[in-house]
Every structure is written in structure tokens, then in C-alpha cells.
Amino acid sequence: MTATTSTSAAPATPAPLVDATRDDASLRRFLLGLPGVDQVGVEQRAAGLGTRSIKKDAKRWAIDTAISMVDLTTLEGADTRGKVRALAAKAVRPDPERQDTPRVAAVCVYPDMVATAVEALKGSGVHVASVATGFPAGRTSREIKLADTKIAVDAGAHEVDMVIDRGAFLEGRYMDVFEEIQAIKAACGDAHLKVILETGELATYDNVRRASWLALLAGGDFIKTSTGKVSPAATLPVTHIMLQAVHDWHVQTGELRGVKPAGGIRTTKDAIKYLVAVHEVAGEQWLVPDLFRFGASSLLNDLLLQRRTQVDGHYSGPDYVTVD
């Protein structure tokens, strides 16, 4: 899984986008000047695409693709090294009886568990992602957020999932949010940065679009919907808006950025609806783990169950997939 995304290709950035971040007023003007999002319209479009009927070979392909895009996640106060190792084992061999099952994209843990995860996944090709920056609330100082990021990166995290300062965003202090993302991005070094917008707290689709562009302007490699700790977490319409944002970003800059819906995606049926949205809203080239991820835990087992159903030709049951 090599990085095809590039955020350092600044020369490609068109002038209006460079101007957008010149100062606080420019950024504000740019974000508030983005075209509005009509709620009814975007929800209808999402529901409409949700009626796509994905069958047979397409479904097989979609299930395997979805498995390969899972960021298998455990983010609990009760996490232990044992739990993380178990998750890592599952990530590498999701279905031990079916060796042709793809491995997942990454294991996502808290910073203090990164070392354990890195050790357990060594040589597997599965990345280690770490949440950071005072996840999930992010209500802490810049200093601690940077230290949090550094702990994760130093322990070997390939990817960092940061949270934006929603309070600052809702107060209209866009430049503060922008600079913080930039600072964390710098602290990430070679690690990829996913920027969690926590769309459930942004409340409007207009805000989701603004936050998406803000994160893209600041250099986020991925924009991610949610921490999973706030309801609603990922929804199809929100993901549509974010997919549209990375599509438009690509049209304007030639750069490819990724999207990660997280939280609340539990079934294969849901996952396939997201893949259809990726396909038809962002475009075919986003259908790779480098550019689209699912932040999930229980989704993986449903994907494995449905995979067996597709391969075996009869329904499987929860006792036939592993539970850790």
C-alpha cells in the first residue's frame, strides 16, 4: 500500500486556493463562499444511489474491496495489549479458514497502543493508524495535541487520525483550525494524516462542506467523518458531500485525497452503498484503500459472513466467523 497521494505538490495548487489561506479574512471568505448544500437534494441523491442493486460478481468484488478498506478499530478505555494483539491477528487473517480473504487496511488504536500494534503487525502490510490530538473531544492544548501525535508517530504509526477543533470551527475561527491541522500534519512526518471533522457536531451540510475544504487546504491526506463517539456518526449524505469535495479538489489541483466514513457502518449492505457512492460521486479511481477507508469494528464480521454466503451459496451464521 504505497502512498499515491501527495500533499506537498504545492506548485499544482491553483491561485484561488493559495489565496484562500492567505489570512483569516480570505479563508473565511473562501469557506463561506462555497456553494451551499441543499439538504433535501443531497439526501435524495444519497437515498437514490442507495437503491443500486449490487449482485453476483459485483457483490463479491465489493465485499473483498470493502474488507481491504477496513480500518479495524478499537478505541475503548478498556483496551489492553491483549485486545490489540487479537485485533491485529484478525486484521491480517480476517477469515482463517479462507486464506484468500484480503487483509484489512489498518488497525486503528489509541497512541499508547501503537507500539503493541506495530509489533503485532510487523511485516504483514497492515498499517497501524493511531487517533491523536486528544481524541475524541480534542479539548486540550495545541502542545498536548502535538505531543500526542508525536507519541503515536514515534511508536511507528503509519497513519494519524486527528480531530479538528469543532469549538473553534463553530465559533468561526477557521484560521485556528487550519493552522492546527497544518501543525499536526508537520508533526506527522511521513505518516498519513486523516482529519476527523466530527460531522455529527457540525450540524449542517454546509458546515461539512466547509470543514472538508478547510482540511483539504490544510493538507489532510484523508477527510474522515467521525470519531464514532458522537451520534450521528457517518451517514451517506455526509459522505456524499465529502466525496464531492475530494472529487472537486482533484479537478482543481490534480491531487488525490481520501475519504473515511467512520462509525455506524455495520452491515455489508451499508458498506456497498458507500462503495457505490465512491464510484459514482468521487469516481472509480477512489475505489482503493489508499483513498477510501471504513472506520469500523463490527462491519468486518458481517462482510466475512456475506463473503461466505457468496462463496458457499448458502447463508452462514455468526458462529462461523471469529469474535475477539
Partner 1 sequence: MPVFEYAPAPESRAIANLKDSYKPFINGEFVDGSGEPLKTINPATEEVLAEVGTASKSDVDTAVKAARKAYDSVWSKMPGTERAKYLFRIARLIQERSRELAVLESLDNGKPIKESRDSDVPTAAAHFFYHAGWADKLEYAGYGPNPRPLGVAGQIIPWNFPLLMLAWKIAPALATGNTVVLKPAETTPLTALVFADICRQAELPPGVVNILPGAGDIGASIVDHAGIDKIAFTGSTEVGKAIQRQVAGTPKKLTLELGGKAANIVFEDAPLDQAVEGIVNGIFFNQGHVCCAGSRLLVQESIAEEVLEKLRYRVSTLRVGDPLDKNTDVGAINSAEQLAKIRGLVESGDAEGAQRWTSPCPMPDRGFFFAPTVFANVHQSMRIAREEIFGPVLSVLTFRTPDEAVAKANNTPYGLSAGIWTEKGSRILWMANQLRAGVVWANTFNRFDPTAPFGGYQESGFGREGGRTGLEAYLNV
Site for partner 1 contains 313 (CB under 8 A): no
State the binding string over 116-155 for partner 1 (x if CB under 8 A, else -): ----------------------------------------
Q: Which helix (H) or strand (E) holds 62?
A: helix 56-68
Report d(CA 60, CA 63) in Å as an integer: 5
CA distances from 297 to 214, 294, 306 (A): 28, 9, 16
Q: Minimum Å distance from CB 275 to partner 1?
A: 7
Give the one residue of 20, 27, 42, 105 binding partner 1; rule: CB under 8 A. Answer: 42
Looking only at residues 46 through 65 of this chain, which bind partner 1 when binding is defined by CB under 8 A?
51-59, 61-62, 65
Q: Which residues ranging from 261 to 290 are in contact with partner 1 (CB under 8 A)?
A: 275-276, 279-280, 284-285, 287-288
Torsion angle defined by CA atoms of residues 86, 88, 94 and 97, in that order, rounded to the nearest 10 degrees:
-60
Residue among 71, 95, 148, 161 flagged as catalytic: 161
Q: Give the number of residues in contact with partner 1, rule: CB under 8 A.
A: 31
> What's the Cα-to-Cα distance from 195 to each of 139, 223, 302, rounded to whole Å?
15, 5, 27
Q: Give the number of other Cβ atoms within 10 Å of residue 276's Cβ.
A: 19
Backbone angles phi, psi at 308, to 5 degrees: -65, -40
How far from chain centre, in Å, is Cα 104?
Answer: 14
Examine the residue annotation and report whether 145 is marked as an active-site residue of this protein: no
Q: To the nearest whole angstrom, how small is the minimum distance from the Cβ of residue 243 to partner 1?
A: 11
User: Is 161 labeled as catalytic in the residue annotation?
Assistant: yes
Binding residues (CB under 8 A) for partner 1: these are 35-38, 40-42, 44-45, 51-59, 61-62, 65, 244, 251, 275-276, 279-280, 284-285, 287-288
Residues assigned a catalytic role: 161, 224, 260
